[in-house]
Amino acid sequence: MAKKPTSIFICQNCHARYPKWTGRCDQCGEWNSLEEEASTPTPSKAQPGKRGTGLKTTRLDGTAAPPPRLNTSMAELNRVLGGGLVPGSVVLVGGDPGIGKSTLMLQMTCALAKAHHNVLYVSGEEAIDQIRLRAQRLELDKDPKALDQLDLAASINVNDIATTLEENRSLHVVVIDSIQTMWLESVASAPGSVSQVRNCAFELIRLAKTLGFALILIGHVTKEGALAGPRVLEHMVDAVLYFEGDRGHQFRILRAAKNRFGATDEIGVFAMTDTGLREVPNPSALFLAERHGNIAGSAVFAGLEGTRPILLEVQVLLSAKSSDGAPRRAVLGWDSSRLSMILAVLEARCGLKLGSMDVHLNITGGLKINEPAADLAVAAALISAATGQPTAPHEAYFGEIGLSGEVRQVSQTAVRLKEISKLGFKQAVIPRHVGTATARPKGPATLTIAETGHLSDLVRRFSPAAGS
Ligand code: TYD
Ligand code: MG
């Protein structure tokens, strides 16, 4: 007797599975996050009589040609991809809504079309007219050469898209904007749900692998930083690129979180202008321009977001206590108890008396950091504000501070040093290397490294008068 199809309920947040619907996921505590999905029967045993064919195995040594690459004409994008787009590969481009993913991909598709590659851009979010308007704004419509080989379509139906792709076998690159809007009739849930996203992506990836075009899937990221719902997508694709930045600011950073064809610690920097995204070959210039010069109370911190390095500016403003009560500690983007600790350590171990002053601390770019590695940059900004001495230009900091004022080592030193150097900084102030378990950190050749064992060494870097 054929088994009745059953359904299961999957939490859209943590992917926990339940046989029955409940209002709250027991695993992650999220309310109302369960969605029904048809359960796929798990094959219990290999079917008797049905044997597979033996695999032809091969040796590890032998020649392997590097994959061919499509040049996107954008050096920053090429670098993040590992040297260009690999034909037949699948790339997921994630980022917050409105950050510029569609803009970046439209610019890329036009450049590829101009280089005589056949490109199809499928939008499930915008009508054709809206894409045309954007292209006009980007002045892409002025280039007849680019238009010949670029096809547009507005659809969310994956079956229709699949038929189109099978009929048009000369395509080199296909962009799907966005995977969350795609819909397969055979899957009984709404677009954007885990099962729709997974099945649509699976179908599109299968087509890309059989027909040999490069597939770009655009995906939105939730506030928590996970690709909405389908974290499972990350395992299905060859590369995951994140497009990030603060919408109030001009600059955007493209990072590879995963790349089967290149390194994952490369970044590409762009600036959003009136006429689209411009590449920023020298990001430190942009970054320093944002810093309004090297003023007292500002220090650059080399942090990590997950496994990804990011440079941030820590700003401190000190003022005389404004009220009779306790001094103000206004902290944006960092932990206020950690600030109190650093103030206490600076006072107890270095004699820098800031306890009676109002302290305003801000991490620029609207980011929130919770790494102890930011301690050294915060201390540098505080000492700089207290002494009126700016930190040295082109200097960045990272390191954890202990209660006796010692500067402790943090993880991923090499990644941070590479990022500091990549963004054009010349000097890194980092914890003193101790022990023999790890090698002494060595950054890129252009970077000078100043190892600091104690906070008082940091105070001494500012001025002889510091601390008085
Ligand atoms: P978009 O590419 O639509 O973002 P996403 O696809 O990631 O949701 O970009 C939207 C934002 O970019 C929008 O707020 C306007 C801005 N923008 C510019 O500043 N200049 C431009 O030339 C374009 C096309 C967009
Ligand atoms: Mg978009």
Amino acid at 338: R
Q: How confident is the model at residue 439 (pLDDT cuts 50, 70, 90)?
A: confident
The verdict on the CB of residue 102 being under 6 Å from ligand 1 is yes
pLDDT over 70 at 175, yes or no: yes
pLDDT over 50 at 467, yes or no: no
The verdict on the CB of residue 138 being under 6 Å from ligand 1 is yes
The tens digit of pLDDT for each residue in 302-315 reads: 987 655 677 888 99
Distance CA(336)–CA(36), nearest Å, equals 42
Go through 286-301 and write b for each residue having 16 or more CB atoms within 10 A of its CB, e for each that does not: bbbeeeeebebbbbbb
Pocket test for ligand 1, best of 178, 220, 222, 272 (most atoms within 8 A of CB): 272
Q: Which ligand is nearest to the CA of 220?
A: 1
Q: What is the pLDDT of residue 174?
A: 96
Q: What is the pLDDT of residue 468?
A: 39
Spatial CB neighbours of 466, under 8 Å, sequence gap ≥ 6: 352, 383, 386, 387, 389, 459, 460
Q: Which residues surround ligand 2, an ion (CB under 5 A)?
A: 102
Pocket test for ligand 1, best of 103, 126, 227 (most atoms within 8 A of CB): 103
Neighbours of 281 (CB within 10 A): 10
pLDDT over 90 at 366, yes or no: no
pLDDT over 60 at 449, yes or no: yes
DSSP, collapsed to helix, strand or coil, labels residue 209 as helix
- Comparing 96 with 106, the larger pLDDT belongs to 106
Tell me the CA–centroid distance for residue 125 and ligand 2, in Å.
7
Q: How far is CA 45 from the centre of its chain?
A: 41
Tell me the CA–centroid distance for residue 78 and ligand 1, in Å.
21
Q: Which ligand is nearest to the CA of 270?
A: 1
Spatial CB neighbours of 50, under 8 Å, sequence gap ≥ 6: none
> Cis (ω within 30 of 0) for the bond into 178?
yes
Atom of ligand 1 nearest to the CA of 138: 22
Distance CA(119)–CA(291), nearest Å, equals 40
Distance CA(458)–CA(135), nearest Å, equals 51
Go through 38-64 and write b for each residue having 16 or more CB atoms within 10 A of its CB, e for each that does not: eeeeeeeeeeeeeeeeeeeeeeeeeee
The tens digit of pLDDT for each residue in 16-72 reads: 888 888 888 888 888 888 877 776 655 555 566 678 888 888 888 878 788 889 999
Distance CA(380)–CA(407), nearest Å, equals 12
The tens digit of pLDDT for each residue in 240-299 reads: 998 887 777 777 888 888 999 988 767 788 889 988 999 987 655 555 566 666 789 999
pLDDT over 80 at 1, yes or no: no
Distances (CA, A) of 303 to 254, 377, 433: 16, 10, 18
To the nearest 10 degrees (0 to 180), the angle between helices 336-350 and 455-462 is 80
Could you report how far apart the first and last alpha carbons of the chain are, in Å?
Answer: 88
The verdict on the CB of residue 383 being under 6 Å from ligand 1 is no
Distance CA(41)–CA(5), nearest Å, equals 8
Tell me the CA–centroid distance for residue 151 and ligand 1, in Å.
21
Q: Which ligand is nearest to the CA of 134?
A: 1
The verdict on the CB of residue 100 being under 6 Å from ligand 1 is yes
Structure tokens at 404: 């006796």
Q: Which residue minimizes the CA distance to atom 22 of ligand 1?
A: 276
Tell me the CA–centroid distance for residue 244 and ligand 1, in Å.
13
Q: For the residues 388-399, what does the mean pLDDT come to?
A: 91
Pairing of strands 214-220, 90-95: parallel
Amino acid at 179: I
Neighbours of 423 (CB within 10 A): 23
Closest Cα partner for 114 from 146, 148, 152, 71? Answer: 146
Distance CA(328)–CA(321), nearest Å, equals 7
Distance CA(295)–CA(384), nearest Å, equals 9
Q: Which ligand is nearest to the CA of 95?
A: 1
Query: Within the chain, how many helices (H) and strands (E) appear?
Result: 12, 21
Distance CA(200)–CA(183), nearest Å, equals 7
- pTM given for the model: 0.71
Q: For the residues 218-241, what does the mean pLDDT come to?
A: 74
